[in-house]
Structure 1
């Protein structure tokens, strides 16, 4: 993959920009690659160059990436003021439940439909998905779609006001656990030790709800990149984004090891023949 600057807007010119209508709602989805489908859900405040870079890594590992536009300006470097305005709008959006534990955001219904749609287009055993930050828990809710086989939760941050809460309805988390056990599946999750949004209490809540089907990884704060975009410098001034803004793109780094583990997880579930 050609190395790109993370400090200028990404034109996303190597993705097909598709309008996909599901559940009566149309969203732009950026699609690239070949092979089984993996849905990459952006962190706040939108599809930044770092999020696009992660999607390209997934694409180059042998998958078809579906990257839905859920909020923000696609490809933009996260600015401090613009990012804060996007965050405020999303927090009051009917599609998201930023402050409600024990309830799933309505947008997850559309994302489950996207998983089914992508599986129909790409084939293979099933679909993978990763959520980040604001969307971090969504891959877990998407396990209610039978096509979903490989869920990854990166610094799941909702609900914002309850560190030990999880953003999924009790009957849904029970159904997900039953499926994980029945089909011998696992959930991968990542956070930095000193993250002030995704704290240890949240991982403990997931572990209680899912048992040993929940595999949580905690990275040391020293592993986080400190050269970040203005939005993160002002509003997220601590280690948070494991595979995007706070990833250090150098061999031997813990964040690169996390990225490689995620790609291997997708490969085991979605390309077992490889």
Structure 2
């Protein structure tokens, strides 16, 4: 993969931009690669160069990446103010449920349909998905789609107002747990120890709901990249947070690089023909 600055806008010209209509809603989806499908859902404040770098790693591991545009400007490194505005709009959008008691975000219905479509187009045993930060729990909600086999929750941050809760309501968690047990599947989760947006209580809630089907990985804060962060993170994300994007140390022996490799291996194991 050709190295490029992660603090400059990314043209994303190695992805095909497709307008995909599902559930009577059209969204732009960036698609690239060959092999079984993996849906990469962006963190705040949009498909940044860091998110695109992770998507390219997934592609190079032998998968077709489907990266839906859910908020923000694709490929852009926004200012701190623009990033904060994207975040505020998402919090009040009808597509997302950012706060406790509102249940799963409605956009997950569209994402389940995308998983079905991706499986039809790419074949293989099924589909993988990774959600990050604001979209972290979406990969879990997508397990109600039979094509979904490999969900990864990277620093799931919703609901924002209750660190001990998860976005999925009890009936959804029960249905997901039943599906995991029936098909002998697991859910992977990743967070930094001192992350204020995804705290230990949230992983404890996942463990209580999913039991041994939830595999949580907690990285030390010392593993996080500290310099050269984009403006939104410099201003608004004051603890280690983004395990496989902004706070990943791309160097041999890094725990964050090992986390990335574990995710790629998880996809290979679940989605291999």
TM-score band w.r.t. shorter chain: over 0.9
Aligned to 1:61: 61
**Alpha-carbon shift at residue 100 of structure 1 (Å):** 2.5
Q: Distance in 2 between matches of 1:4 and 1:247?
A: 15
Aligned to 1:173: 173
Structure 1 segment 123-138 matched on structure 2, within 5 A: 123-138=123-138
Whether contact under 8 Å (1:101, 1:166) holds in the other structure is no
**Alpha-carbon shift at residue 102 of structure 1 (Å):** 6.4
**Aligned residue pair count:** 272
Matched residue SS, 1:164: coil
Whether contact under 8 Å (1:38, 1:128) holds in the other structure is yes
Aligned to 1:208: 208
TM-score by length of structure 2 reads: 0.99
Aligned to 1:76: 76
Q: Distance in 2 between matches of 1:258 and 1:102?
A: 31
Q: Quickly say closer, same or farther: Cα 1:109–1:40, change in 2 above 3 A.
A: same
Q: Distance in 1 between matches of 2:38 and 2:217?
A: 21
Whether contact under 8 Å (1:33, 1:64) holds in the other structure is yes
**Alpha-carbon shift at residue 169 of structure 1 (Å):** 1.8
Structure 1: unaligned runs, 5 residues or longer = none
Aligned to 1:252: 253
Matched residue SS, 1:198: coil
Whether contact under 8 Å (1:102, 1:170) holds in the other structure is no
Flag as ranges the 4+ runs of structure 1 deviating above 2 A: none
Q: Distance in 1 between matches of 2:101 and 2:236?
A: 23
CA shift digits 1:189-215 (9 cap, x unpaired): 000000001000000000000000000
Q: Quickly say closer, same or farther: Cα 1:101–1:266, change in 2 above 3 A.
A: farther
TM-score by length of structure 1 reads: 0.98
Whether contact under 8 Å (1:133, 1:157) holds in the other structure is yes
Whether contact under 8 Å (1:129, 1:151) holds in the other structure is yes
Matched residue SS, 2:38: strand
RMSD: 0.7
CA shift digits 1:182-240 (9 cap, x unpaired): 11100000000000010000000000000000000000000001121110010001100
